Amino acid sequence: MNDLVEKYQREFCYLLGIKQAFAFWKGRVALYAILKALGIGEGDEVIVPGYTCVMDVNPIKYLRAKPIYVDIEPYTFNINVSLLQDKITPNTKAVIAQHTYGYPCDMDAITNITAKNNIPVIEDCCLALGSQYKGKTVGTFGEAAYFSFQWNKPYTTGLGGMAITSDVQLARKIESLQANKGCWPSSKEILMLWAQLIVYRLFVYPKTTALAQRLFRYLTKKGTVVGSSSTSEFEPTMASDFFKGISNVQARSGLRQLMKIEQNIAHRKKMAERYDQLLKQNGWKGREYDRSVIEPVMVRYPVRIAEKDRALSEAAKAGIELGSWFECPLHPIETPLASYDYEEGMCPEAEKASKEVVNLPLHPRVDDATAKRTVEFIIRFTEVQ
């Protein structure tokens, strides 16, 4: 562990008011370390929402455990807690509480159930850095939590992940896994990631995002750039170079992002309110959540529309940054769901949301004019109530 990475981990702890954080190459690697530190293995079951990124499910499969899917509730897209107890069996060894789009899960309800059953909760905070539940930051309710700093996340270091826990014994196990990680990223990967970060900061703006994403996907398939996921990660078998540590490029970039984190969070909150206002002015619903309980810091602003595919293709042509995750219960869509123990119909609300939800950008490059353009574009479609 070098000084730069230690400093990054310390600053991250400072941000959340916690004591221990462990940086990794990606968020999914951080999750893998947590699951392994919890001793999860063959025959164990891990509960996950049926509306997630398949990269979140991979670490469970890598450890030969079984993902058990719970449907979501339609407004916050988070795990439907009323369905949770019925999914718990003697084999359940963890529940992953994913704070989707930035909306915190109902942590009291979840931890009531898990405490009764003596099951640890892992919070997936990849989309929710800074969100609060009952005045406390997400990531501090479960036994452990993890964060991602991939391109679309609350702040980006290109790729990046962080595992946190307040449990001292668990922390020592994660620390030892971090010290004995499988490998380092290669110098070619690090150099390329550094170049990609520069290109991103110089050229990727709401109007150029769709084009940049198409180019990025094309170059990823060709193996020219460091993609968010390698080809091997679209299969539930762990590649030999999966378990990687963090590079100095990521740590340095993370430290820079943390210096601006308060402005980033304030901006996201302000722009989400702005979308609420602009959408409501046009007769749309805006966000629905209990403001006395949660204070979300949204990573993106979800809306439900009819004709999602048409909206996405027209947005790309018009230079409107419209996001589309999750496109299936285990995003991205190419993944054969059966190899992840998911059967169609298991999570009807999640499947419905996958067909209807697009998301509007909230990152620091979104200004008022962009928000207005985005809303002018989206209201040409029909909102699904």
Ligand X SMILES: Cc1ncc(COP(=O)(O)O)c(C=O)c1O
Question: Which chain residues interact with ligand X by CB under 6 A?
Answer: 26-28, 52-53, 55-56, 98, 124, 126-127, 148, 150, 161, 228
Compute the least distance from the CB of residue 100 to ligand X, in Å.
7
- Cβ within 8 Å of residue 18, ≥6 positions away: 139, 140, 164, 166
How many helical (H) and strand (E) elements, i.e. helices and strands, does the chain have? 13, 14
26 or 363: CB nearest ligand X: 26
Q: How far is the CB of 278 from ligand X (least distance, A)?
A: 26
In the complex with ligand X, which residue's Cβ is closer, 92 or 148?
Answer: 148
The tokens for 18 are 């916690």
| Maximum CA extent, the chain | 55
Q: Residue 44 in 3-state DSSP?
A: coil
- The count of C-alpha atoms lying within 13 angstroms of the C-alpha of 60, restricted to the half-sphere facing its C-beta, is 25
**Nearest CB to ligand X, comparing residues 353 and 375:** 353
- Strands 144-148, 161-165: pairing kind: antiparallel
Smaller CB separation from ligand X, 79 or 294: 79
Alpha-carbon gap, residue 100 to 53, rounded angstroms? 11
Min dist CB 136 to ligand X, Å, is 20
Kindly state the smallest distance separating residue 160's Cβ from ligand X, in Å. Answer: 7
Name the residue type at position 56.
Answer: D
| Residues 6+ away with beta carbon under 8 Å from 268 | 102, 130, 154, 297, 298, 299, 362, 363
Q: How far is 196 from 211, CA to CA, in rounded Å?
A: 15
Closest distance between ligand X and the C-beta of residue 292, in Å? 26
Nearer to ligand X, 307 or 356 (CB): 356
Q: Among residues 92 and 156, whose Cβ is nearest to ligand X?
A: 156
Nearest approach in angstroms of CB 153 to ligand X is: 7
Report the candidate in 158, 89, 79, 150 with the shortest Cα–Cα distance to residue 119. 89
Residue 25 CA to chain centroid, in angstroms?
A: 15
> How close are the terminal C-alpha atoms of the chain, in Å?
50
Token pair for residue 100?
């989707």
Which one, 20 or 100, has the nearer CB to ligand X? Answer: 100
Least distance to ligand X, CB of residue 225, Å: 15
Looking at the Cβ atoms of 242 and 284, the one nearer to ligand X is 242
Q: Which residues pair with 164 in a beta bridge?
A: 21, 145
Task: With CA atoms as reference, report the closest residue to 273 among 258, 289, 259.
Answer: 289
Q: In the bound complex, what is the minimum distance in angstroms from residue 126's beta carbon to ligand X?
A: 4
Least separation in angstroms between residue 28's CB and ligand X is 3
Q: What are phi and psi of 257, to 5 degrees?
A: -65, -35
Shortest reach from residue 189's CB to ligand X, in Å: 15
The phi, psi pair for 304, rounded to 5°, reads -100, 130
When CB distances to ligand X are compared, the closest residue is 27
**CA–CA dist 27, 381 (Å, integer):** 34
Cβ-based nearer residue to ligand X, 77 or 284: 77
Nearer to ligand X, 244 or 304 (CB): 244
Q: Cα dist. 31→117, 268, 370 in Å?
A: 22, 25, 34
